[in-house]
Structure 1
Amino acid sequence: FSRVKYRDLGDFTIQPYEFTPRRRGSEVSLALRRQGKVDGFPVKVEKMVSLCARQSIVNITYEVVNLSREEVALRFGSEFNFSLLAGSSPDRYFEIEGVKPENPFLSGFGSLENVKTVKIVDEWKGFSVSLQADKPAFLWRFPVETVSQSESGFEKIYQSSVVFPNWKFTLGPGEKWSTGITLRIEE
């Protein structure tokens, strides 16, 4: 996945979504909807992103519906990219379920199962960004790096960290699956 050498069985990343913005009091939300196909089967995805005024919290909900007459095996995920500095600095790191993983650096690779909480800590700037899922997920994380030419030759330059919570599940005809993620920025 990190090397983009996979077959995307769906058409959800290459086609537009319908959207509906909403405002209720101090909350602003955006509903995104799309009916597409996964491995030839019709599937609907709905995503709701909600923000409240004066809060550093984003609530995201996802719903996947099998519109076919067949059982469909799916892997659904949502990619988050966090552009922080210093991918190999010891004062910027991941915590997964409250613990630093092996190779905790922002430029590190990792794959774990049954994860509900991942946090990126920046001690130097004094803040953290966390994702809290309401269902345990597979968690893939890896850096986005570019190649730059310098006086000493070519070198990789850290650009950002990808956090990709994803879930495998099977839906019968007409069945729905849903989950939610809360993104929180804290000092």
Structure 2
Amino acid sequence: KIAYDRWPRKSLVDHFLEPDLSADAFRRGDGLISEFAAATFEASVRRTEAEVTVEMRGRGHVYDAEVEIRKFVTISAARPNELQVRYQLQRLPEFAVIHFAPEFNFATMPGGASDRYFYDESGTQLGTLDSCQVLDSIERLGLVDEWQGLDVSLEFSRPAGVWTFPIETISQSESGFELVHQSVAVVPHWQFIATDAGTWSVDIRLVLDTSLARARQLGEIGDRRQTSDDESTEVPADAIENSVGTL
């Protein structure tokens, strides 16, 4: 159960894995065949009035080849709640079996409650956010926290297998050791055979929907205003009695 992380539990952390690696093995930190998870990337920024794009480039060894990852992260003024992520893999070893998995972690969405859950592209609930999911060939996965009014979704241009599991740390309290939820890990992964061109790409769209939280906030503001209006129009009982006495 207890394992030491070999890489930061953040988002857009890139892994090349052994072919057919299982979700349980990955969760233990096994099966990595590259050091991209801890690699340093060169970054450049392009800005226009409409959008900002960060391009990151990194190189590392996969099998005996020096592979290059280029990833582009774009946010636009028209859709500020979305991140467009494009991965381009280059210089892949010809005809090798490639198992590529970029990792995402969402730290503000704790699990363990029925109103915090995953859902698939058809809207079907899959389990609470602290559950381990092993999904095959999906194009969209959502995470909902109804209590906070958050809905996060990941959409893939290629059908992906997806692993999910909670990231938990050990804490000592008066009652002994206990697990403390840190984040929800979501790991889309693709296994394919590299072409003779040595290139491969995928697009990932990350969308944050806070409309439920905004609606709830507006409702609370409306309730406070209604309460304030009711209090301001209330007439004291003694004032009514005095008015009746003067008639």
Q: CA deviation at 1:153?
A: 1.1
Give the corresponding residue for 2:87. 62
AA at the equivalent of 2:50:
S
User: Retained in 2: the 8 A contact 1:93–1:120?
Assistant: yes
1:25 aligns with 2:49: yes
Residue among 90, 93, 98 paired with 2:114: 90
State the alpha-carbon separation in 1 of the partners of residues 125 and 156 from structure 2: 18
Which of 17, 32, 38 aligns to 1:14? It is 38
CA spacing shift, 1:42–1:25, aligned 2, 3 Å: same
Give the number of the structure whose alpha-carbon radius of gyration is greater. Answer: 2
- Which residue in the other structure is 2:74 paired with? 50
| Conserved 8 A contact 2:164-2:186 | yes
User: Using CA pairs below 8 Å that are at least 6 residues apart, which structure has the higher relative contact order?
Assistant: 1
* Alpha-carbon distance in structure 2 between the residues aligned to 1:174 and 1:34: 19
Contact residue 66 and residue 173 of structure 1 kept, 8 A:
no
Note if contact 1:41-1:72 (Cα within 8 Å) is conserved in structure 2. no
Structure 1: segments with no counterpart, 5+ residues:
none
Contact map agreement 1:28 1:52 (CA 8 A) in 2: yes
TM-score by length of 2: 0.70
Structure with the higher fraction of residues in strand conformation: 1
Per the alignment, residue 121 of structure 1 pairs with: 144
Please give the root-mean-square deviation of Cα atoms over the aligned residues, in Å.
1.5
Deviation at 1:147, TM superposition (A): 0.9
In 2, distance between residues paired with 1:113 and 1:86?
A: 24
Percent identical among aligned pairs is: 36
TM superposition shift of 1:158:
1.1
Matched with 1:163 is: 186
| Residue identity in the other structure for 1:41 | A
Q: Which runs of 4+ in 1 moved over 6 A?
A: none
In structure 2, do the counterparts of structure 1 residues 36 and 85 end up closer, same or farther at CA, with 3 Å as the change threshold? closer
Task: Report deviation, 1:3.
Answer: 1.9
Residue matched to 1:154: 177
SS in 1 for 2:37: coil
Q: Deviations over 1:154-173 (max 9, x none)?
A: 11111110000010011133
Query: How many pairs does the alignment contain?
Result: 183
3-state SS, counterpart of residue 13 of structure 1 = helix
Q: Give the structure 1 partner of residue 28 of structure 2.
A: 3
Do the aligned residues in 2 keep the contact of 1:116 with 1:137 (CA within 8 Å)?
A: yes
TM-score by length of 1: 0.91
Unaligned runs of 5+ residues in structure 2 are 1-25, 212-247
